[in-house]
């Protein structure tokens, strides 16, 4: 299974390594660094890299590469899922998963990795179990450990480890009982020059924060469950009930967890929430180019489009730009040729636009292709796929919990070709 794990920062330095079966030399990461140099973007590094004696399987999260080394063939998604679990656990324990946080809590990190993997095979990956095995770091606990020389490792075996619901510990008590669900959708799309959709798909997740006393049994139903076709569930969900009735029935883990993730790829179900009017022209033999860009909302069901950020990689021949934004601010880096326009919120009554001229190298030939425009945005209280939660019911406990559901849509890789 997994022999070693290397953590590589954005500068290409290995700042942490952990070995389970046998010590694998750091030099194996040279194959990874070669692939990193060949990739145009940090996220374009191949997730699986074969080497003469090993396979390197990696994920990029929070600008850190988590590189697992395996010696025999293993289903790659198995390893990738485990690496994501490691990152989520670090985030759960330390609040953030950064190089600084990992270095500050290096003892806890090694204790967690020792429990999560046993002789290279996943053992305890549920947050509830891990928190009983290894207490999350606090300032007081760190001081006490420093003085007494003790560790964060718990004295007893976790209660959940021996039950049929290993994701939930027994004897949970809260004064305020609450269950919150966040439906977050990310749209990936490519729009061609004429405004037609070449490809569009939605990656969605339902993240939950459940703080309920005892052993509650929840059911979550949807207005239109047929939308959920390509779905991946948390182990707590009773799959047979979902297949029969399209209702989510589960005993929830305690705290934060991802209930399900889903994928909508049917073109007719994916509404494009923004449109772009563009006119980017370069004339042969001229040292000037024209740049015009206007954004507007479309099919947003009356919800506002906010946190809009536009990036465009201009051709190498562009020396400088003289643009006038009607809203927000723009920057142009003459070295990397990256144009960034921070729009903010789109006002449908007064659409934001960016217009002006570009200075080109004298005598340079006309660029072969027009630049592409990448857009980031958020739409609060809206799920683009139309997914809506109908009701949430609780059984097995007598109190009435406080319930809340929030929707959000954001752009993933949203590209407009000019």
Contacts 24+ apart (CB under 8 A), 137-142: 137/93, 137/94, 137/105, 137/108
- Reference 154, options 131, 124, 172; nearest CA is 131
pTM of the model: 0.83
Q: Strand 64-70 vs strand 117-118: parallel, antiparallel, or unpaired?
A: unpaired
8 A C-beta contact, residue 252 and residue 218: yes
Q: What is the DSSP letter of 299?
A: S
Q: Which residue has the higher pLDDT, 174 or 165?
A: 174
Q: Could you tell me which residues come within 8 angstroms of residue 218 by beta carbon, excluding any fewer than 6 positions away? A: 179, 210, 248, 249, 250, 251, 252, 392, 393, 394, 395
Per-residue pLDDT tens for 89-126? 999 999 999 999 999 999 999 999 999 999 889 988 88
Residue 269 pLDDT > 90, yes or no? no
Residue 85 pLDDT > 60, yes or no? yes
Per-residue pLDDT tens for 10-33? 999 999 999 998 899 999 999 999
CA separation for the pair 385, 399 (Å, rounded):
34
**Helices 76-94, 106-116: inter-axial angle, 10-degree rounding:** 140
Query: Residue 352 burial by CB count (10 A; 0-12/13-18/19+): exposed, middle or buried?
Result: buried
Tokens of 256: 């934060």
Q: For position 370, what pLDDT does the model report?
A: 83
Per-residue pLDDT tens for 394-404? 999 999 999 99
Per-residue pLDDT tens for 317-326? 888 899 999 9
């Amino acid at each position: 299974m997994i022999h070693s794990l290397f953590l590589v920062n954005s500068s290409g330095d290995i700042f942490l390594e952990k070995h389970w079966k046998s010590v694998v030399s750091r030099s194996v990461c040279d194959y990874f660094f070669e692939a990193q140099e060949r990739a145009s973007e940090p996220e374009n590094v191949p997730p699986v890299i074969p080497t003469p004696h090993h396979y390197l399987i990696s994920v990029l999260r929070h600008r850190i590469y988590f590189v697992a080394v395996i010696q025999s063939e293993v289903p790659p998604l198995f390893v990738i899922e485990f690496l994501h679990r490691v990152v989520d656990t670090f985030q759960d324990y330390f609040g953030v998963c950064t190089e600084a946080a990992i270095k500050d809590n290096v003892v806890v990190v090694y204790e967690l990795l020792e429990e999560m993997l046993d002789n290279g095979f996943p053992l305890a990956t549920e947050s509830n179990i891990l928190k009983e095995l290894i207490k999350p770091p606090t300032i007081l606990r760190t001081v006490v450990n420093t003085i007494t020389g003790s560790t964060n490792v718990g004295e007893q075996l976790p209660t959940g480890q021996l039950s049929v619901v290993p994701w939930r510990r027994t004897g949970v008590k809260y004064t305020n009982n609450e269950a919150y669900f966040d439906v977050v959708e990310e749209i990936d799309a490519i729009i061609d020059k004429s405004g037609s959709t070449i490809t569009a798909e939605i990656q969605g997740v339902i993240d939950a924060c459940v703080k309920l006393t005892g052993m509650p049994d929840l059911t979550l139903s949807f207005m239109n469950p047929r939308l959920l076709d390509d779905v991946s569930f948390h182990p707590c969900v009773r799959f047979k009930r979902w297949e029969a009735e399209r209702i989510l029935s589960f005993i929830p883990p305690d705290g934060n967890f991802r209930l399900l993730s889903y994928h909508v790829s049917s073109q007719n179900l994916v509404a494009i929430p923004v449109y772009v009017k563009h006119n980017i022209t370069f004339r042969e033999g001229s040292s000037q180019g024209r740049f015009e860009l206007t954004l507007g909302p479309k099919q947003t069901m009356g919800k506002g489009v906010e946190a809009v950020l536009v990036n465009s990689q201009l051709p190498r021949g562009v020396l400088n730009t003289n643009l006038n934004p009607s809203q927000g601010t723009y920057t142009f880096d003459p070295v990397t040729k990256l144009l960034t326009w921070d729009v903010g919120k789109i006002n449908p009554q007064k659409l934001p636009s960016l217009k002006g001229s570009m200075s080109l190298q004298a005598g340079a030939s006309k660029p072969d292709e027009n630049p592409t425009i990448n857009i980031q945005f958020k739409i609060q209280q809206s799920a683009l796929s139309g997914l809506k939660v109908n009701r949430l019911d609780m059984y097995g406990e007598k109190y009435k919990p406080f319930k809340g559901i929030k929707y959000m849509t954001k752009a993933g890789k949203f590209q407009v070709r000019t």
